[in-house]
Chains A and B, each alone.
Chain A
């Protein structure tokens, strides 16, 4: 970890129009949560619907994508990454510093608003907030690592990441049951299911995979993404053009 790289990354992430989007989305979520509370009178089922469909299913991957591509993708895109790579720093250090910033940003801008939204929309003594908070943290770590790796590997990181997060997990997962076994969202939900215990069945916070398998897969995906990203950054070829 290198504090200067982290500081530069943070400034690049928050200093531009991207920050506007990253602030707007959590605010929107909180507003929606308020509306849901007004409509359903703090019904836990409405909270679960909001969190499952919108917050965890759509907003979290989108935020992680914005952050993951923001910490390194835009620098690779405009070629300014060479000035960073030319410094006498191991590329491993550069990537890990950027990844840590991404994780931190994902926690602050995606996970905390999600927990706050649950508390606003209606919770059963903090149980739902805790369960979804843990699930969202796990998902955020995995998503961010995947998207950082994607932005190092390909210039089309944003579109491929979206295809995965939206089409694969949400749409195809609804039709083909097997696909939901290969989905960060389902793995993270396994943690929420385990924390909620019996209530998970009542509120139908259910995952398609078991807890051990889910945690193992989450860890494996994260580590594999980080290793892949480091390896590809070590041999990065800058291509100009569109």
Chain B
């Protein structure tokens, strides 16, 4: 009996109304792949990029995903948020006049945890799409390759900035509750936010490049953290060597090999903050400008590399 049965109403049967296949004129995009007709509004390129950004941010924090995916990001965020509480308590108890770690020093003091958070998040953003070969599905939508790269980058940078800003804000709340004077604290907090933003952009660009070249997630995490930790160790060692040999200028510029020191140098020169790691920083506006330019160049270079990397992805 089943042999004589007509094909169930999955496809357009002879009696069914014939859907209008094919793209709307002038819109050479695959939407209607024949399974189900869609008449609603096409939201277009901007909306795709926006959705990709939102999903990236949600994915990094594990929102809308099982508890297994939430465990890591949130425990790292927890570790990042504990020191502000301790600091607030300590100034309450000792009656100190200022925070033991200033707003601009804070991301630097917890650089390992920040690095781990970024190292966990960056492969999450890009590695799976590459590994499971779903890039052609993204690219069949009205979205450019560049949009994909920029949306992922913006999502990662926003998430990292959000986490850092949350910690800074907690520091501010603690300082205000301990009745430190409001004006300087708010100014310091704004400086901290600026430093966090620069750091988030710099780290995101760097780590996304590494993640895009390591499609296995575990290896991506390990590669990113290795690079960040080794960069910081090498910068430290080289600075010590330069100092020993009396190469003052080199000792001022070499710490900038470590992205955290680079951002710290910007904070010292442009915001007049105290250095987080007691490094020498190149003097004057020139030093600050050099650091800003280097940061901008690194971010631009990394984005360029990413866009280059994605130029061929999905072409099998």
Residues of A within 8 A of B (CB): 16-18, 21, 25, 28, 32, 35-36, 38-40, 46, 49-50, 53-54, 58-59, 62, 65-66, 69-70, 73-74, 77-78, 151, 155-159, 162-163, 166-167, 170-171, 239, 241-242
Contacts and interface: CB of A to CB of B under 8 A. Distances in A.
Interface stretch (B112-120, B166-174, B285-293): B112-120
A66 B219 CA distance: 8
Nearest to B66: A241
Contacts of B59: 242
B108 to A, nearest CB: 12
A58 B219 contact: no
Interface size on B, as a range, is 35 or more
Contact of A166 (B68, B76, B229, B234): B229
B189 to A, nearest CB: 25
B226 A62 contact: yes
A77 B230 contact: no
Interface of B: 59, 65-66, 68-69, 71-72, 76, 79, 112-113, 116, 119-120, 124, 128, 213-214, 216-219, 221-223, 225-226, 229-230, 233-234, 236-238, 240-242, 244-245
A40 B244 contact: yes
Contacts, number: 100
A170 B112 CA distance: 10
Contacts of A50: 237
Nearest to B226: A62
B120 to A, nearest CB: 6
A21 B241 contact: no
Contacts of A35: 237-238, 241
B71 A156 contact: yes
A204 B245 CA distance: 24
B234 A32 contact: yes
Nearest to B72: A156
B31 to A, nearest CB: 28
A66 B226 contact: yes
A157 B218 contact: yes
B236 A53 contact: yes
Given A66-B222, A77-B218, A242 B113 contact: no
Contacts of B68: 155, 239, 241
Given A17-B214, A35-B241, A241-B68, A162 B233 contact: no
A65 B222 contact: yes
Nearest to B247: A39
Nearest to B217: A77
Q: Top 5 nearest A-B pairs by Cβ distance?
A: A39-B241, A158-B221, A39-B244, A54-B233, A166-B112
A239 B69 CA distance: 12
A31 to B, nearest CB: 9
Given A40-B244, A242-B128, A78 B216 contact: yes
Given A28-B230, A66-B222, A156-B71, A171 B112 contact: yes
Given A163-B116, A242-B124, A69 B222 contact: yes
Contacts of A69: 218, 222
Most B CB atoms within 10 A — which of A21, A38, A167, A242? Answer: A242
B237 A36 contact: yes
A235 B119 CA distance: 29
A75 to B, nearest CB: 10
A21 B226 contact: yes
10 contacts: A17-B223, A39-B244, A58-B230, A59-B230, A62-B229, A69-B222, A156-B72, A166-B112, A167-B79, A242-B124
